[in-house]
Chain A
């Protein structure tokens, strides 16, 4: 399956997953479909038959509310049956809104209280350095999440420790629950901020798989400092019903009819 087809599949599975309970974080799931597609197709050294394998690459979805997009990706890569996606948020499920490493095979860290996942990712990167196992740690933070002070505590520490095995993606979709990020608390210029904290910074179109692929490949060559890849994205991208909603798509109902229309739009 080529990268674009994989991205579409992730979007289809994500929306079906959310539609199964009728409501969810559509916007922020759709904006990270490409990066998940590229990471799991081309970069993560993983074994879906052995999710806890030592020395594997790990992903921390620090914007933990985008869990369904990660679950869709994990199901697509064989960590568990795609049918399980339809259990989202039902009592007893292994797929809660926000990622829980104790419940879901392939989820490398629990996240949901914003700002914490990146620090956990820094801990994983430090662990890999101590273990000398050559693993790479990837973290996805939201742009709104960058309003959390802990993100910058983590960034300062990661750069100080020269964690060049750490790559942080910022899903720069420019929206948060209450509105446009620039009107809530402006985080621009986000690239300058990460650079100032000691990161190598690469900024790409977050909906361009080839650009993301090249950026990750470059991040692997950076020595003695962590890399931040800023993904310029659109919240709800790929499903026009939801994209048109703007920031109202952060968490919104998904009807059976909307799902049908969207799945057609996402056909190969």
Chain B
């Protein structure tokens, strides 16, 4: 299922139960899947127009009035353009605003560099008290939303909005916003992955298995606060760590994992991430190839650590 459909559908049922939830868009409600909420909640699904800074501060005002605002736009228009509003109106002012950054990293595809946030995880991680969550698929998104509503405080949701392999659509999957998910246990190397590249990483682990390499694959859906126990336990077991992310190599998942390990358990680490490059236009698979984010790149990097 498209992640945005899971988001809008789940949010609608939450809005039906909780009249404090409001949805703010900035002329991207159709792209974000939230446009039809306006028919159901004409007062609580609001278009703020193409003015993201205002939208974020308006959300802070609504929060100060007791509402739980969700604001949504493309990731760079939040994490880059409205960074000061997020830091001051929302976080410094102690407000409970949920921020949806859509089409992160190479997911912006044909929109190219202006719309590609390679730095949003780094920026949002550096803001005090911000929770940074990146769902893998529609299952995680749908299960996360009620927990995000119940959690009091700012949350940045890094949302790939389109159709994506449903990695977690399986019986008995239990989701905890603050607990990482072990997808495959292994003993030779720990691969920590967030978001878009999770299915590619699972495929890479299967290739590695055929070559006799037993990789452990753990999805870090919440990059801040990171599930320290999950990372440390796995790194201790395997002694080798690879991170995989759709983000610059600086300040994202590689940064979060490296910071944790360097202080608590110095471990040999490497990354599959964007090599400090700028955005270009292209289709998703082309971009994965261009930036070195393919299944084969993951296999190669994993082997280089062994």
Q: How far is the CA of A108 from the CA of B85 in the complex (A)?
A: 17
Asked whether B62 is an interface residue with its Cβ less than 8 Å from the other chain, the reply is yes
Q: Is the CB of B61 within 8 A of A110?
A: no
CB < 8 Å neighbour of A119 from B22, B57, B69, B94: B57
Query: Which residues of B81-134 have CB atoms within 8 Å of chain A's CB atoms?
Result: 84-85, 88-89, 92-94
Asked whether B182 is an interface residue with its Cβ less than 8 Å from the other chain, the reply is no
Given contacts A153-B54, A154-B57, contact A127 B92 (CB under 8 A): no
Q: Is the CB of B67 within 8 A of A113?
A: no
CB < 8 Å neighbour of A150 from B53, B59, B94: B53
Q: Is the CB of A122 within 8 A of B58?
A: yes
Q: Is the CB of B65 within 8 A of A127?
A: yes
Q: How far is the CA of A124 from the CA of B66 in the complex (A)?
A: 9
Q: How far is the CA of A161 from the CA of B286 in the complex (A)?
A: 44
Asked whether A101 is an interface residue with its Cβ less than 8 Å from the other chain, the reply is yes
Distance in angstroms from A95 CB to nearest chain B CB is 16
Given contacts A130-B43, A153-B54, contact A102 B61 (CB under 8 A): no
Interface string of B21-57 (1 = CB under 8 A from A): 0100000000000000000000110101101011011
CB < 8 Å neighbour of A110 from B56, B58, B93: B93
Q: Is the CB of A124 within 8 A of B44?
A: no
Q: Which residues of B contact A109 (CB under 8 A)?
A: 60-61, 64, 93
Q: Is the CB of B65 within 8 A of A131?
A: yes
Q: Is the CB of A119 within 8 A of B88?
A: no
Q: Is the CB of B92 within 8 A of A123?
A: no
Which residue from chain A places its CB closest to the CB of B59 in the assembled complex?
A: A123
Q: Is the CB of B66 within 8 A of A120?
A: no
Asked whether A51 is an interface residue with its Cβ less than 8 Å from the other chain, the reply is no
Q: Is the CB of B64 within 8 A of A153?
A: no
Interface string of A105-133 (1 = CB under 8 A from B): 00011101101110111111111101100
Q: How many A residues, CB 8 Å from partner? A: 32
Asked whether A183 is an interface residue with its Cβ less than 8 Å from the other chain, the reply is no
Given contacts A112-B88, A127-B61, A150-B57, contact A120 B93 (CB under 8 A): yes
Q: Is the CB of B64 within 8 A of A101?
A: yes
Asked whether A23 is an interface residue with its Cβ less than 8 Å from the other chain, the reply is no
Q: Is the CB of B61 within 8 A of A122?
A: yes
Q: How many B residues, CB 8 Å from partner? A: 29
Which residue from chain B places its CB closest to the CB of A155 in the assembled complex?
A: B54
Q: Is the CB of B89 within 8 A of A110?
A: yes
Q: Is the CB of B89 within 8 A of A130?
A: no
Q: How far is the CA of A120 from the CA of B53 in the complex (A)?
A: 11
Residue among B61, B63, B88, B89 having the largest count of chain A Cβ atoms under 10 Å = B61
Interface of B is mostly: helix
Q: Which residues of A contact B61 (CB under 8 A)?
A: 60, 109, 119-127
Q: How far is the CA of A146 from the CA of B154 in the complex (A)?
A: 28
Q: Which residues of A contact B92 (CB under 8 A)?
A: 100, 110
Distance in angstroms from A126 CB to nearest chain B CB is 6
Which residue from chain A places its CB closest to the CB of B88 in the assembled complex?
A: A113
Q: How far is the CA of A109 from the CA of B66 in the complex (A)?
A: 13
Asked whether A156 is an interface residue with its Cβ less than 8 Å from the other chain, the reply is yes
CB < 8 Å neighbour of B64 from A100, A123, A150, A157: A123
Q: How far is the CA of A153 from the CA of B53 in the complex (A)?
A: 8
Distance in angstroms from B216 CB to nearest chain A CB is 42
Interface string of A135-173 (1 = CB under 8 A from B): 000000000000001100110110010000000000000
Q: Which residues of B contact A119 (CB under 8 A)?
A: 53-54, 56-58, 60-61, 85, 89
Which residue from chain A places its CB closest to the CB of B50 in the assembled complex?
A: A153
Q: How far is the CA of A223 from the CA of B51 in the complex (A)?
A: 25
Q: Which residues of A contact B44 (CB under 8 A)?
A: 130
Q: Which residues of A contact B49 (CB under 8 A)?
A: 153, 156-157, 160
Given contacts A113-B88, A120-B89, contact A108 B64 (CB under 8 A): yes
Q: Which residues of A contact B63 (CB under 8 A)?
A: 123
Q: How far is the CA of A116 from the CA of B90 in the complex (A)?
A: 10
Distance in angstroms from A252 CB to nearest chain B CB is 25
Q: Is the CB of B85 within 8 A of A116?
A: yes
Q: Is the CB of A126 within 8 A of B58?
A: yes
Q: Is the CB of A153 within 8 A of B89?
A: no
Q: Which residues of B contact A124 (CB under 8 A)?
A: 61-62, 64-65
Q: How far is the CA of A131 from the CA of B20 in the complex (A)?
A: 9
Q: How far is the CA of A115 from the CA of B57 in the complex (A)?
A: 9
Distance in angstroms from A262 CB to nearest chain B CB is 32
CB < 8 Å neighbour of B62 from A60, A116, A123, A154: A123
Interface string of B285-306 (1 = CB under 8 A from A): 0000000000000000000000
Q: Which residues of A contact B94 (CB under 8 A)?
A: 101-102, 110
Q: Which residues of A contact B56 (CB under 8 A)?
A: 119
30 A-B contacts (beta carbon < 8 Å): A100-B93, A101-B64, A101-B93, A102-B94, A108-B64, A109-B64, A110-B88, A110-B93, A110-B94, A115-B53, A116-B57, A116-B84, A116-B88, A119-B89, A120-B57, A120-B58, A120-B60, A122-B58, A122-B61, A123-B57, A123-B61, A124-B61, A126-B62, A126-B65, A128-B65, A130-B43, A130-B67, A131-B65, A154-B57, A156-B49
Given contact pairs A108-B64, A110-B92, enumerate 8 new A-B contacts (beta carbons under 8 Å): A100-B92, A116-B89, A120-B57, A120-B64, A122-B54, A126-B46, A127-B66, A150-B54
Top 6 nearest A-B pairs by Cβ distance?
A123-B61, A127-B65, A119-B57, A153-B54, A110-B93, A153-B51
